A and B are shown apart, each in its own frame.
Chain A
């Protein structure tokens, strides 16, 4: 049994490595075609993403710091997929999580850790509220979650931007909101880096999610609903209720990403113009979840991989002098090739449920 698990993990890791190699080769060819030294570029990428952890921790901390929000959003999406939902609403959960912290900072106007507690409760509350709208429309009216969550993303976006511009702008710099007060911030793990204790929270969230999904009745039912809705219903599970819970679970994880970003990332500790410091984290979570094959533990290395890419591209610009646009293109190629295997299997599964063809196999 254990041997089988190990073999399974190795095979899946092998797939990721193969996909990554393919992406690196394609990206490299593109760079060569534009006249840049691909090997030098990749070497700079690696050096700036990892450095030499024994003598210099900064590059690695930067990688882990950029991986942190992706762990949360990756988990949030993974939970949805596991319960048979294609929930794009993680993005709005991130915005609203951060919004809660800003509201608490603005309303309390006090430099106390209480802001963190009240702010995260408000943030998660707002995320859950939005998710509940999508969930109810899905369960009671049969409106597809992709449509509702995309629309809710924009509602949340403009709501947050309204607060940034009109309710709690920073009086010294109205391009951003007021900042979370110092004593409500999540402390840095290492001074002089961006790595905060959010990373630890993210790991804990991942372990907790794994435990819930695989070691509780609730998690079992959630996964059963995801694998075959009809069979789960036939087996007496309250699938409508489970669908709603799945939305809320995912919203809490997404909201945590927003809370941790705004309370744990120097130097701004606020929502910046156009929500540009949060935008896209939810969507990146989809890629992360797909790379990690929607498994809560595998989401961690997948996030670190993307975090390393995001950190390493700095080196490609500085040392290999590859222009930013090309760097982003190559990065995109690598991410797509990484996510492709997961995307295909997820789509297969998803379409399978819709047709109700799959057998009930709950491992």
Chain B
């Protein structure tokens, strides 16, 4: 018995092992000839795949990069928080990865630490900021897209002769202030557009609620029901999975009045969420995490292999102009429905029904409103000096990063609360 064990261990030890360095001196690569890395590696946080939003979009970007740049895609999901560090370390030690992308700000601390230990490995962090030469921090200009959906919200309110719109948010963290600021500005901008087009004045009352959670649809629902009770006609989801409760609330409110489509409407976030409650989600503020992952991979290749850029780390900020932020269009829906079908959450037979519902919902409001919203989106690519109520869009941008104090000031100058 004992001999058997010894023999087994001896055989195991003599098997070829992957090239590794000792963990105590990871900062000094000793092998003179390192094989070229061939993988794009993605580490998810505990949210993980299958959310039809943030994480699945990261996968989309990674698989597109793998295809286009002839790399292999390696995905690593985390079972719990205690997996972050070993997941990143294991991938770094393998030296197979062109870039390791950490998806989600929860991975920020772990990336910061491992980036120090493996200075020759390139990393990217989505939604987080790590100040190291080998880490690319991928951030999004959420305020731009929020302004576009804000303007749309106002025009819809005007169309239905209503005066109240709302936003339900998750935890009160600085990233969300960017959404808030853009949305409020867009709402006020929409008022001017609406007046210019119809000659009618619409003076919008803005409601906002921080639910304190990103993962609690019940709280999202309660907050939304309160807003609907106050007469809100559009509610913007800035609350992750909590926002699923927003969609439920608007769909229920609509159904109660015997309608199969809004009003009231929700506005989706991150992914194109228009299909979740077809007919009740007027549009989505898409934050293209896939574009972030793809761009980061391209940059890593340029730095590492083509050597045509000399600096890798820093901030990669993606907005409308960079294709990182956009209000959803019907074509986007087709892409995201495909993702839902692949994941098994959308029945392939329902695809047509969902598309039709969304298209007829879009046709239920005047087409000039869509044109105006997309026009604002085009304008914000280049011209940030648009001004409403004495606040230029560039002023909003200059206030980033927001603090509780600065957002309070902006709220009062835009007449919120």
Q: Could you list which residues of chain A lie within 8 angstroms of chain B, going by C-beta atoms?
A: 10, 46-48, 50-52, 54-58, 61-62, 65-66, 165, 173-175, 190-194, 261, 265-268, 272-274, 276-277, 279-280, 310-311, 313-314, 317-318, 321, 324, 328
9 shortest A-B CB distances, which residue pairs? A277-B81, A324-B77, A192-B23, A267-B109, A58-B23, A56-B20, A267-B113, A62-B86, A52-B17
Is the beta-carbon distance between B23 and A267 smaller than 8 angstroms? no
Chosen A-B contacts, 6 in total, with CB atoms closer than 8 Å, are A50-B12, A52-B17, A56-B20, A192-B117, A268-B81, A280-B80
**Closest chain A residue to B39 by CB distance?**
A318
Chain B interface residue count, Cβ-Cβ cutoff 8 angstroms: 47
* A311 and B86 contact, Cβ closer than 8 Å, known pairs A276-B81, A318-B76, A324-B49: yes
Given A54-B13, A175-B171, A267-B109: A317 and B76 interface contact (C-beta under 8 Å): yes
Partner-binding segment picked from B90-98, B140-148, B375-383? B90-98
Q: Is the CB of B17 within 8 A of A191?
A: no
Given that A57-B23, A266-B113, A276-B81 are known contacts, is A173 also in contact with B105, CB under 8 Å in the complex? yes
Q: Is B276 an interface residue (CB 8 A)?
A: no
Q: In the assembled complex, which residues on chain A have CB atoms less than 8 Å from the CB atom of B22?
A: 55-57
Given contacts A279-B80, A317-B76, contact A274 B215 (CB under 8 A): yes
Are B23 and A318 in contact (CB-based, < 8 A)?
no
Question: B49: which A residues are within 8 A, CB to CB?
Answer: 324
Find chain B residues with CB under 8 A from A314 CB: 76, 83, 86-87, 90
Binding site for A on B (CB under 8 A): 1, 12-13, 17-18, 20-24, 26, 46, 48-49, 74-77, 79-87, 89-91, 93-94, 105-106, 108-110, 112-113, 117, 171-173, 212-215
Contact across chains for A48 and B85 when beta carbons are under 8 A apart = no
Would A56 and B94 count as touching, CB distance under 8 A? no
Q: Are A277 and B82 in contact (CB under 8 A)?
A: yes
Q: Hey, which chain A residues are within 8 Å of B1, CB to CB?
A: 10
For the complex, give the distance between the alpha carbons of A311 and B94 in Å.
15
Scoring A10, A62, A311 by chain B CB atoms within 10 A of each residue's CB, the highest score goes to: A62
Contacts of A317 in B (CB 8 A): 74-77
Known: A194-B86, A314-B86. 17 other contacts (CB 8 A): A10-B1, A47-B17, A48-B90, A57-B22, A58-B89, A66-B82, A173-B173, A175-B105, A175-B106, A175-B173, A192-B89, A267-B109, A267-B113, A272-B106, A279-B80, A317-B75, A321-B74
CB distance from B311 to the nearest CB of A (A): 26
Q: Which of A65, A173, A273 contacts B108 (CB 8 A)?
A: A173
Q: Is the CB of B86 within 8 A of A267?
A: no
Q: How far, in whole Å, are A193 and B93 apart by their CA atoms in the complex?
A: 12
Min CB distance, A248 to chain B, in Å?
27
Complex Cα spacing A273 to B89, Å:
23
Within the complex, the shortest CB–CB distance from A178 to chain B, in Å, comes to 13
| Chain B contacts for A277, CB-based, 8 A | 80-82
Nearest CB in chain A: distance from B109 CB, A:
4
Q: Please tell me if the beta carbons of B171 and A190 are within 8 angstroms of each other in the complex.
A: no
Q: How far is the CA of A50 from the CA of B17 in the complex (A)?
A: 11
Residues of the A chain whose Cβ atoms lie less than 8 Å from the Cβ of B48 = 324
Q: Which of B12, B86, B112, B171 has the most CB of A within 10 A?
A: B86
Taking a contact as CB atoms closer than 8 A, the residue among B81, B85, B94 that contacts A272 in the complex is: B81
Expressed in whole angstroms, the Cα–Cα distance for A190 and B89 within the complex equals 14
B113 to chain A: which residues have CB within 8 Å? Answer: 266-267
- Closest chain-B Cβ to A242's Cβ sits at a distance in Å of 35
Other-chain contact of B23, A174, A190, A274, A321 (Cβ < 8 Å): A190
Contacts of A280 in B (CB 8 A): 80
Given A192-B24, A193-B23, A310-B79, answer yes or no on A56-B17 (Cβ-Cβ < 8 Å).
yes
Chain A residue, CB-CB nearest to B104:
A175
Nearest-CB distance from A247 to chain B (Å)?
A: 27
Contacts of A175 in B (CB 8 A): 105-106, 171, 173
Most B-side CB within 10 Å, residue of A267, A268, A311: A267
Complex contact B82–A58 (CB within 8 A): no
> Which residue of chain B has its CB nearest to the CB of A169?
B171
Q: Is the CB of B23 within 8 A of A61?
A: yes
Cα–Cα distance between A280 and B83 once the two chains are bound (Å)? 14
- Chain B residue at minimal CB-CB distance from A315: B90
Measured in the bound complex, the distance between the Cα atoms of B363 and A114 in whole Å is 66
A residues within 8 A CB of B74? 317-318, 321
A165 touches B12 (CB 8 A): no
Contacts of B79 in A (CB 8 A): 310, 313, 328
Q: Which residue of A lies closest to B89 (CB)?
A: A58
The CA-CA distance from A25 to B174 in the complex, in Å, is 50
Docked pose: A96 CA to B49 CA in angstroms:
30
Contacts of B82 in A (CB 8 A): 65-66, 194, 261, 265, 277
In angstroms, how far is the closest chain A Cβ from the Cβ of B188? Answer: 28
Q: Which residues of B contact A173 (CB under 8 A)?
A: 105, 108, 173
| Inter-chain contacts of A47 with B (CB < 8 A) | 17-18
Cα distance, A51 to B109, chains bound together (Å): 26
Report how far A317 CA is from B20 CA in the complex, Å: 18
The complex places the Cα of A3 from the Cα of B173 at a distance, in Å, of 64
**CB-contact partner of B94 in A10, A318, A321, under 8 A:** A318
Between A10, A193, A311, A324, the greatest number of chain B beta carbons within 10 A of the residue's beta carbon is seen for: A324
A282 CB to nearest B CB, Å: 13
Residue of A nearest to B22 (CB): A56
Q: Which residues from chain A contact B80 at a C-beta distance below 8 Å?
A: 276-277, 279-280
A266 to B49, CA, bound (A): 24
Closest to A43 in B: B15
